Structure 1
């Protein structure tokens, strides 16, 4: 078959190229401690959008560093006094939660929906700023010039996903044993982050996840498009790559391949083998480190695009309908 990356045989054994920080586990334990200490101050406001079978609300909570995070919350009306499943949805890079109508088939099946806007991107969630250095290109490098790697913006966004999961699990209509997560591209990355940092996530369906194995992306000359800020950062701030190892090691704190071994839920992951936005090898670097039950949906001739019938397979995987 044509190849944009490694052969499938090599992909299945690939372990990643990006360096892992020595204090990676301590870094994330400290991050989770900060998250758990945050006062969420959850607030729900009725949405202007209404439907007969579900209640639609704009939910807000306070994440780490004081940012107010916005979530589209759909609560089915047909549950009675029973608890039902919940599905957390995460969107692509620079985007926002989808239209309400994109989630109604889950609510119609009795699942509560929580669709989060990533902070500082295209939705209503806040980015509180407060870091030194370049902020011209994107969120991967946001905080990279800070002396403290805990200022990396994607650290905060990853924590937002786990905090949202905890909030969802505490809702009276939600069965905490049936909380699931899904998303495509950055949404796939945040799905992995959520299930890594909140291992009670029972099932997860990431599709061609972003934010994995940054050094591999750069070595493949694919630091463009979604990863363009990597190239721009080096060109502007380290043009001779004198700090290359330092920079990639720091990015290792927000490299999902190193969080993936914390996942305990069942995984269905979609991948297009011709993907030149999030190269398959970078995705496999994370997938191969997942120790829980898992399976792949592989599309040999597809790239970073719609994957036929995968939405249907994810729906059936998550809700068993």
Structure 2
């Protein structure tokens, strides 16, 4: 699909709401990508990076091919309508960072392994600049509870695809094992059954709190969302089978569109009735009642794959 915005580029503009927070507004053309492409643009930061490179003075690029790749392969998420959690009350949370910037969330499932979304891998072109931070509440403060690790390797699920979107799950191995304590703990995926529509679940992350601004929240936040049936989510008024919400995926949001996950939250957990059920994956818009967040359900298939990769025989 050819994006309709290419004839009218514009530089990022500051909006009053973002300016007050020290954040920058996403440029119109980037917001149009989110609306125009088949996939969502919850990977806006990559698109903006590409735009700035492609339109900078002296750039030899005459087109922006990276946009399609970035848009169709990423779904970074943010917390909309949530609240800040008590510091270190979610000790399983991981911040995946590149060049010092928070990119995706993740869940510590083993002292040396973090579970996250496979599409997050596209934001880590150089492993030496990548790191995982555990034990954090604030991204900016020097908290004594923080443990920082280099990344040893990424293992994406072998069936991961971006078109159609499927199997958006990945393991990240830390160079050394984390020290488990009150601020750093494990969360195991235990649920092996589907989640009924209407179930209330919590999603956690450091994503931005305003869909017009791109800066992540400095502190960890959480929001309660409601699971929506696949029949409704695939209906014409919702996603209209684009993408198809399969049995390994689920939708969750809010009837008024005021509670959602979005940019910066990809790879974070969806916890329902105390059980770790799914990972934040994507969605067409942020905070839109008819375009709720899409999550990867941690089915038996995925849990078997996780277990096999964590087995001692796979140690290296």
Bin the TM-score by the shorter chain: under 0.3
Normalised TM-score (structure 1)? 0.23
More helix by share: 1
Greater share of strand residues, 1 or 2?
A: 2
